[in-house]
Structure 1
Amino acid sequence: MLQTLSIKQFAIIEELEIQFSDGLTVLSGETGSGKSIIIDAIGQLIGMRASSDFVRHGEKKAVIEGIFDIDESKDAIHILKNMDIDVDEDFLLVKREIFSSGKSLCKINNQTVTLQDLRKVMQELLDIHGQHETQSLLKQKYHLTLLDNYAESRYQDLLDKYHQTFQNYKAKKKELEDLESADQALLQRLDLMKFQLEELSEAHLKEGEIEQLEIDIKRIQNSEKLSLALNNAHMTLTDENAITDRLYELSNHLLTINDIVPNKYDKLKEDIDQFYYILEDAKHELYDEMANTEFDEQVLNEYESRMNLLNNLKRKYGKDISELIAYQEKLNNEINKIENYEQSTSQLREEINALYNQVIEVGQALS
């Protein structure tokens, strides 16, 4: 609702302010008294075309301001917020400046806006009905707005329920359409997906397997060289000049010294004894390793065959092992989705029918 209209330097009006009260306001006067000029000024606030002829003779610009009560104009408030305009949800200040050059400037709550944005907001707040103009009364959307405004206090809860139920109905219909569209494409790929899933499942893929196979293959291929190195290392710890024997002798010498000079070399003897036992453990570990380094052609063939299988799968699918494992899981989910297609669509159709009946029921209550 327009509450206050301020006009300055517009046509023949030097300055005028009108306060509008609730209900009907009538502007009366003789022909030529300026009634239509006031209507023209209001027209500038809703975005009608400006002209330099509107600027009072001898002035640089005309200014029209309007203060509107927007407490009940939810659509206007929504538009303003989308335009990032600061909104006081009770009042709105609209200003139009028209310059003698013919250009104009539009402001809403002191923020400059385009003429198009001004029109977008004001069509929700104000309408001018002229004898030969196309009016919002002819627009179907405006009819609905009038009905909603009339029914708001009495039927708002029911109207909100209708909107929510209808939105749920549309969302479920779209979900069904998306499912049907997607599953038609998936059905065409079902055989291929099943083949791929079987192929990957039979491969028993494991993270890090290729890296371990590379180590094992290298070990077997170099078993002769490895065996010689292990043997030499073991002999270093077991021959007649073995370091462990020397450490054992050294420990005994320190024991004799400690009998004569107590406690002086306790720490040294402790360290040597610890090193001795470490080397003893190493000697047994090397011996066990030597027993497992024999060249086994059958095992090598198995490892190489497994490596070839994994590399072939990587090349075929263009993915590494971790990605193949994830792809296998994806295939499994998609196959299950397709196989459960009928159940999913049937359930959705039941929900859609139930929502449709609710929409009809609430709509009938509104009408």
Structure 2
Amino acid sequence: MLRELTIRNLAVIAQVTVKFHDGFHVLTGETGAGKSIIIDALALAAGGRGSAEMIRHGNDRADIEALFDLPPRHPVWETLRKLGVEADPEEALLIRRELQAQGKSSSRINGQSVTLSMLREVGEHLVNIHGQHEHQSLLRTDRHLEWLDLFAGEEISGQKEAYSRIYQQYISVGKERRELEQKSRQGMQMLDLYRYQIEEIEQASLKVGEDESLQDEKRKLTHAEKLSDAVAEAHELLYGSKGLAAISRALNRLQEVSKVDPVALQPLVEQLQSAYYGVEDAAYQLRDYRETIEFNPARLEQIDDRLDLIHSLKRKYGESIELIVAYKLRIQTEASQLENSDELLKSLTEQEAHLLSELQSLAEKLSAVRRATSRVLAAQIEQELAALQMNRSVFEVKLTSGALGVSGTDAAEFLLSTNPGEPPKSLAKIASGGEMSRVMLALKAIFARIDEIPVLVFDEVDTGVSGRAAQAIAEKLSLLSRDCQVFAITHLPQVACMADHQYEIAKQVTENSRTTTSVTELEKADRVEELARMLGGVEVTEKTRHHAQEMLALAESRKNA
């Protein structure tokens, strides 16, 4: 339940802190006193939309704090856990919302910053606000099936889980099949190309490093004559009179005199001997190398053809032989998948058909439960409407069947006829505000025990009713407050007298000529005065006071009964 609400600088409210209790609360006061501001503040605390215009003039921000006391089993704790908000179910839940003049807002739950969407998700478990024309989820056609299933409870929840699981599989398999079909259509056009490319690359019998090796060989063949002439000349120079013969003569001369000065000359002798053998070896290598030089125009032509082929493949498939080979491996895999796609497509088609058959069977079971549930729900709502002085009304849950969807094949809509002989129509087409108020109250009376929302707010839902209908609404609100905390803004004394707690909303002008709104919880004597004002208007007489006392006493006896 809502234990305390603090409002600072919101509209004409400077600052108020209001404590609340179990049961049925009414907010009363003159028109324009600011009763709806209390509801607006609660809506903001539950994640409602705010704006800078709501901030009291002359202030840079508005603050709202709402303190809730909830049982540990309440679903809001699980929602907080999923959102990553630390909260102890054994402690109170504090929500703070701040509006800034710059248009920004901030939200905190138990001191932890949360986004507005997170706050709204939490608020959906805490507060449900109903106005004369603000019917929220109960009167939204797209939510009627959800409410019907909620009313069915455990009887349908297991079947819905099974259906949802199979439905997700069906969607997944169908998506995979369609993607494969599209890929197959495109792939069949590519398969011949892949096969041609694979064959072209395989026939080339490429070897890594082959192109560099061929370039080396081509360079030698192209310059064979130049190589041969240079090597022959070098061999002649080394092996002729200017080469080995000259070194040999120099070596003989030094050997002859080395004994004269062995310290200086013997190292030179050894150096020349080494040079002689080195030059001799180089001469032999040049001779051998010259014999390997090939003059082969036919081989050169073959190399050119091979390099042209490799260059052509590089342009098509990759900048190197390694990349060409990698490309071939990739398209071999894709070609294999395409060649086997018919078998896979057949398997997916069969699987999809099987899942569809299973889904249709589960959808029929869901529909059967919903049809039975809709009759029970309609009967209970008609019972509630009868208690609200609409005993000749006909309520109907219209189920229509369509394509398979997330919730089966069903769509639901709540229909109502308030006049005998008239067919039931959509709730949205009900013209009378008083009738709409009672329909909404009847729905809420049934679902309040199911949705576990602890705080219900009714903003002038008694508009357009009077007499016995007003008394019936008051009694229904009082009964509702046994399952949850109920708040109502009302101008009807019949409703106000049935409350367990009454708050007067009043507007005053301060010494500095500023208007501000106050909220005061009324004791019994004050309630008599307020009810007398509601009964008699501007002038309160002893007669109206006596009437107010009688109403309070009668209301107390009705609640006790």
For the aligned pair, the TM-score class normalised by the smaller chain equals 0.5 to 0.7
The residue type paired with residue 77 of structure 2 is D
Q: Specify the alignment match of 1:190 in structure 2.
A: 191
Structure 1: runs of 5 or more not aligned: 82-86
The residue type paired with residue 26 of structure 2 is S
- In the aligned structure 2, how far is the partner of 1:353 from the partner of 1:274? 91
- In the aligned structure 2, how far is the partner of 1:261 from the partner of 1:358? 111
Identity of matched residues, %: 28
Q: Deviations over 1:128-179 (max 9, x none)?
A: 123321312345569759978x989xx89x95x8867755554443333222
Q: Specify the alignment match of 1:7 in structure 2.
A: 7
The residue matched to 1:345 in structure 2 has which SS? helix
Aligned-pair distance for 1:44? Answer: 2.8
Q: Specify the alignment match of 1:179 in structure 2.
A: 180
Q: Specify the alignment match of 1:27 in structure 2.
A: 25
Q: Could you say which structure has the higher strand fraction? A: 2
The residue matched to 2:25 in structure 1 has which SS? coil
The residue type paired with residue 303 of structure 2 is Y
- In the aligned structure 2, how far is the partner of 1:291 from the partner of 1:144? 96
Paired residues of 1:65 and 1:95 also in contact (CA < 8 A): yes
Q: Specify the alignment match of 2:107 in structure 1.
A: 108
* Cα RMSD, aligned residues only: 5.2
Q: 1:295 to 1:60 in 2, by over 3 A?
A: closer
Paired residues of 2:248 and 2:276 also in contact (CA < 8 A): yes
- In the aligned structure 2, how far is the partner of 1:166 from the partner of 1:251? 105
Q: Deviations over 1:206-235 (max 9, x none)?
A: 344333333222211211111111222333
Q: Specify the alignment match of 1:212 in structure 2.
A: 213
Q: Specify the alignment match of 1:71 in structure 2.
A: 77
Q: 1:218 to 1:62 in 2, by over 3 A?
A: closer
- In the aligned structure 1, how far is the partner of 2:170 from the partner of 2:123? 32
Q: 1 or 2 for the larger relative contact order (CA 8 Å, sep ≥6)?
A: 2
The residue type paired with residue 192 of structure 1 is L
- In the aligned structure 2, how far is the partner of 1:121 from the partner of 1:273? 101
Paired residues of 1:244 and 1:280 also in contact (CA < 8 A): no
Q: Deviations over 1:235-287 (max 9, x none)?
A: 34433443598389859978x979x979x978995x87776666555444333
Q: 1:170 to 1:180 in 2, by over 3 A?
A: same
Structure 2: runs of 5 or more not aligned: 71-75, 370-561
The residue matched to 1:294 in structure 2 has which SS? coil
Name the count of aligned residue pairs. 344
Q: 1:274 to 1:341 in 2, by over 3 A?
A: farther
The residue type paired with residue 42 of structure 1 is L
The residue matched to 1:132 in structure 2 has which SS? coil
The residue type paired with residue 98 of structure 2 is R
Q: Deviations over 1:88-131 (max 9, x none)?
A: 355563313376xxx75421127999978865774565431233
Paired residues of 1:51 and 1:98 also in contact (CA < 8 A): yes
Aligned-pair distance for 1:183? Answer: 1.9
The residue matched to 1:129 in structure 2 has which SS? strand
Paired residues of 1:7 and 1:16 also in contact (CA < 8 A): yes
Q: 1:130 to 1:304 in 2, by over 3 A?
A: same
- In the aligned structure 2, how far is the partner of 1:136 from the partner of 1:236? 108
TM-score, normalised to structure 1's length?
0.68
Aligned-pair distance for 1:187? Answer: 0.4
Paired residues of 2:238 and 2:244 also in contact (CA < 8 A): yes
TM-score, normalised to structure 2's length?
0.48
- In the aligned structure 2, how far is the partner of 1:47 from the partner of 1:251? 114
Q: 1:52 to 1:304 in 2, by over 3 A?
A: closer
Q: Specify the alignment match of 2:345 in structure 1.
A: 345
Paired residues of 2:43 and 2:129 also in contact (CA < 8 A): yes
Q: 1:54 to 1:212 in 2, by over 3 A?
A: closer
The residue matched to 2:66 in structure 1 has which SS? strand
Q: Specify the alignment match of 2:290 in structure 1.
A: 290
Q: 1:98 to 1:195 in 2, by over 3 A?
A: closer
Stretch deviating more after TM superposition (63-72 or 222-231): 63-72
Q: 1:143 to 1:284 in 2, by over 3 A?
A: farther
The residue matched to 2:194 in structure 1 has which SS? helix
Q: Specify the alignment match of 1:95 in structure 2.
A: 97
Q: Whose Rg is larger?
A: 2
Aligned-pair distance for 1:29? Answer: 5.7
Paired residues of 1:127 and 1:136 also in contact (CA < 8 A): no
Aligned-pair distance for 1:14? Answer: 3.3
The residue type paired with residue 333 of structure 2 is N
Q: Specify the alignment match of 1:332 in structure 2.
A: 332
